[in-house]
Amino acid sequence: MEFNRQDNNHNSIISVDDDTVTLLNATLTTPCFISSNYHTEVPDLTLEKLNKITLFPLSSKDDIDILIVGTGKIGKFLNPQQQVALQQMGIGVESMNNKSACRSFNLLLSDVRLVGLLLL
């Protein structure tokens, strides 16, 4: 899937497929974390391992107040304990399939929102 919108000032997503995501200046393999000014691969992170301890090092690199979690080809929900833990960090969280997550990330990024994307 390819995206049309490109923004030179942010980590806009250009394209995404099953195992990789292409940003304006980088290509990452999933799992990975992307925010407006930071991106990194997180090879050991899974949906089950997502908690405050695993998210803090990623979210502290760039201010985020919304986290979009891409859960692969099929959308999955975080369990209630994970949702509460992330909300205690002051971060709203939404989960969906990867392609929807990338579209939502680009949209929120273009609205100058403090958004992070975690693709699993």
**What domains, with CATH codes, occur in the chain?**
13-119 (3.40.1230.10)
Q: Would you call 111 exposed, middle or buried from its count of C-beta atoms within 10 A (0-12, 13-18, 19+)?
A: exposed
pLDDT in tens, 17-35: 989 999 988 999 999 999 9
43: Cβ–Cβ under 8 A, 6 or more apart, which residues?
Answer: 31
pLDDT in tens, 24-79: 889 999 999 999 999 999 999 999 999 999 999 999 999 999 999 999 999 999 99
The predicted pLDDT at position 14 comes to 93
Q: Determine how many CB atoms are found less than 10 A away from the CB of residue 34.
A: 29
